[in-house]
Every structure is written in C-alpha cells, then in structure tokens.
Amino acid sequence: MNPFTTFTATTAVFYMMAGLAVVCAAGVALSRNILHSAFSLLGTLAGVAGLYFLLGADFVAVVQLLVYVGGILVLILFAVLLTREITDIKISNLSVSILGGLPASLLMLAMVLHTTIKAPFKMTVAVVAPTVNRLGDALLREYLLPFEVVSVVLLMALVGSMVIARRAVKDELGERDENPEEERV
C-alpha cells in the first residue's frame, strides 16, 4: 500500500510538522546571523515536539518542550543577546562551500526519496495510550537504582562545576589585585 494514496488530517499534520522541522533546520544550518539560527532552532525543536505528540509519545514531547525549548534554547538566546560584539566576529571556513556539498546533498536526497517511494510501508492504526504512567512505574520499580545513580552523578557534576567556577573567579580576582592598572569592567 502506497503511503501517498491515503491523505487524512493526521497525515496533513505530520507533513506540516515535518516540513516545519526540516525548513527550520535548514535555517539553522544556512543562516549567517546567529540570532536567526537560534530562532530557527526554536522552530525545529517545536516541529520535533509536534511529531512526538502526533506519535503518541506525550511524555517525550513535553520533555522536549520544557527542557530544550524552555531551557536550553532560552539559555542560548540569552547568551547570544548578552554577548557583546557577537555580530562583529567574522567566522569563515573557506574549505567548505555550498557548491562542494551540493552534489553529495542531491545524491543523498535522491537515495532517500527512492527508498521512501519504493519501500513497502505497513500502515497500522496507532493505539494512543498515556506513556507517563508506565514510565513512572518503570523508573520507581525496575530502574530505581540506575535512576538514583544518575541523579548522584549529576549532582557530583554540578558541585564539581561550581568548585571549578569558584576557583576560576578567585584566580581572576587575585590577578586583578596584583595588576591594579588594568581597567575593571
């Protein structure tokens, strides 16, 4: 059965979310402005979250929105907006060009389209069931020990990064005290 013959509302939403993710991912890769790339990343992550919702993976979709869109992307945007003179930096890579990658990209696109059209996809009806209950039970029963080990490792990493950052601030303050003629910003 050809997947292109049955076109439902779910199929339309899938193509819209996939198109959003792909177009915004191209914007991330091809934009010369880092702020535009960050906002394109927002569209990419939102499109992927929409695909997760469509697939019935509600927990993964909400985590995608909260962690990546709500946390990491906001952190990236703050870093970009608060960094001085980021637009004055000219970064160029002369060894890579669009013309050099165009044949490989077109070949890869042709292979993906050929595989997509020729593959015998099995159409099944997805059973929508909440995944949070099963995930919570699994984390608090079968995977309790690995869950706690990961939490302790993350806590140690957080404390270690705070110690390293504090040591760096102390070293920086010590150097300023030794060189009083340096301008303090």
- DSSP-based three-state secondary structure for 92: coil
Residue linked to tokens 């469509």: 54
Nearest one of 117, 109, 28 to 76, comparing CA atoms: 28
Task: State the pLDDT at residue 77.
Answer: 82
* DSSP secondary structure of 115-174: HHHHS-PPP-------SHHHHHHHHHTTTHHHHHHHHHHHHHHHHHHHHHHHHHHHHHHH
Cβ burial of 44 (10 Å; 0-12, 13-18, 19+) is buried
User: Could you tell me if 105 and 183 lie in one domain?
Assistant: no
Task: State the pLDDT at residue 169.
Answer: 76
Of 107, 129, 151, the residue that ends a domain is 129
Q: Is the pLDDT of residue 94 over 60?
A: no
Cβ burial of 49 (10 Å; 0-12, 13-18, 19+) is buried
Task: State the pLDDT at residue 95.
Answer: 53
Q: pLDDT tens across 67-81, in order?
A: 888 888 888 888 877
Q: Is the pLDDT of residue 2 over 60?
A: no
User: Could you tell me if 90 and 27 lie in one domain?
Assistant: yes
Torsion angles phi and psi, residue 120, rounded to 5: -85, 95
The answer to whether the CB of 66 falls within 8 A of the CB of 49 is: no
Could you tell me the pTM of the whole model?
A: 0.62
Q: In sequence order, which residues have a C-beta less than 8 Å from that of residue 174 and are 6 or more positions away?
A: none
Does residue 124 or residue 43 have the better pLDDT? 43
Residue 65 belongs to what domain range? 9-129
**137 lies in some domain:** no
Mean pLDDT, rounded, of the chain: 82
User: Could you tell me if 30 and 62 lie in one domain?
Assistant: yes
Q: Which amino acid is at 1?
A: M
Q: pLDDT tens across 116-128, in order?
A: 899 888 877 767 6
User: Could you tell me if 173 and 88 lie in one domain?
Assistant: no
Task: State the pLDDT at residue 120.
Answer: 87
Q: pLDDT tens across 129-148, in order?
A: 777 888 888 888 999 999 89
**27 lies in some domain:** yes
**138 lies in some domain:** no
Domain tally for the chain? Answer: 2
**95 lies in some domain:** yes
